[in-house]
Amino acid sequence: MNQVDCTIIENRELTRGNFLLTLRVPRQFSKPQPGQFVHLRLSTDGEPLLRRPYSLEGFFERGRIRAIRIYYSVVGRGSRILSMHPKGRELDLIGPLGVGFQISRKKKTSLLVAGGRGVAPLLFLARRLRERKRPHVFLFGAKSKYELYGYRDVRGGRLHLATDDGSVGYHGSVLDLLQREWEEAGHTPDTAEIFTCGPHGLLHAVADFARDRGVRCEASLEGPMACGVGACRGCPIPLRPEHDGAGYPAMCVEGPVYDATAVDWERLP
């Protein structure tokens, strides 16, 4: 973990309310893993007071430039302030933080199930899988074609798209694509694993799918975080009864990536 000053290289609106933020970070910024996040101070004016957590869409090194990318949507006061920052603006950043995705040592097929802006950490993971020449299938669902970000960059694995309005790809849920992929490809718990990120409803459904089949499944969770380093204990992950002995792990330290089948999704805020 490092606390560093970073500089905005680009803060571009891709579609209405959806932005791609590229930040130049110094050399001492540790190389992040897919699924980790950073904690950004969005203003030097003390408002908003708390930092905001953002998962990483990518990490790049080109020559002497080291940069991270964040895909975000304007959903509240903090992200609205962030969307107005121009190129060249300096921000205070802590990161990389948390636990990222853990790829199985056994050469399994990775099924990446993304919903909406939850696609960001899975795009990062897909690049890592491609680098390691690991087989993977990318399943991406959104409300419409305007929320399908980054899928054209998916390389080295099969890609399937779904939209609620049928504007691109399958007309329906990405869960239907997961079901179809599992059955048609003949996947088993010994040959496949699942990684997912998106709305809690999607993660809950994917976790149930994995638990019913005994499949290893990791989910990247989202939620408010005050400190980002486990000090305030304000972002607990409720666990299912059979895992209650493990207490309430902090999302920011023992997550945001966690065993999806262990989370009690009904009690997660």
Report the CATH fold assignment for 109-259: Rossmann fold (3.40.50)
As a whole number of angstroms, the distance between CA 22 and CA 9 comes to 5
- Residue of 64, 80, 93, 72 whose CA lies nearest to 21: 72
- Domain 2-97 and domain 109-259, same fold? Reply is no
Q: Please check the confidence at residue 248 and state whether its pLDDT lies above 90.
A: no
Q: How confident is the model at residue 246 (pLDDT cuts 50, 70, 90)?
A: low
What confidence tens digit (pLDDT) does each residue in 89-138 have?
A: 999 999 999 999 999 988 899 999 999 999 999 999 999 999 999 999 99
Q: What is the 3-state secondary structure (H, E, C) of 116-140?
A: HHHHHHHHHHHHHHHHCCCCEEEEE
Please give the sequence-ordered ranges of beta strands (E in DSSP) within 116-265, or none if there are none.
Answer: 136-142, 158-163, 170-171, 192-197, 217-220, 257-259
The stretch 218-234 carries a mean pLDDT of 88
Tens-digit pLDDT profile for residues 79-89: 999 999 999 99
Q: Please state the rounded mean pLDDT for residues 32-57.
A: 90
| Burial of 202: CB neighbours in 10 Å, binned 0-12, 13-18, 19+ | buried
pLDDT at 158: 94
Rounded to an integer, what distance in angstroms lies between the CA atom of residue 164 and that of residue 107?
33
pLDDT at 98: 96
Backbone angles phi, psi at 174, to 5 degrees: -65, -20
Beta bridge partners of 115: 141
What pLDDT score does 166 carry? 95
**In the predicted model, what is the mean pLDDT of residues 46-52?**
82
Q: How far apart are CA 221 and CA 202, in angstroms?
A: 11
CB 138 within 8 A of CB 122: yes
Matching residue, tokens 């990775």: 110
Q: What is d(CA 33, CA 128) in angstroms, rounded to the nearest whole number?
A: 9
**For the chain, which residues make up each domain, given as ranges?**
2-97, 109-259
Q: How far apart are CA 131 and CA 243, in angstroms?
A: 34
**Measured distance CA(259)–CA(173) in Å, rounded:** 22
Average pLDDT along the chain: 93
Mean predicted confidence (pLDDT) in 228-250: 84
Q: How confident is the model at residue 56 (pLDDT cuts 50, 70, 90)?
A: very high
Mean pLDDT of 180-186: 97
pTM of the model: 0.94
What does the pLDDT average to over 134-162? 93
Answer CATH for 2-97 from 2.60.40.2550, 2.60.40.10, 3.40.50.9100, 2.40.30.10: 2.40.30.10
- As a whole number of angstroms, the distance between CA 226 and CA 81 comes to 18
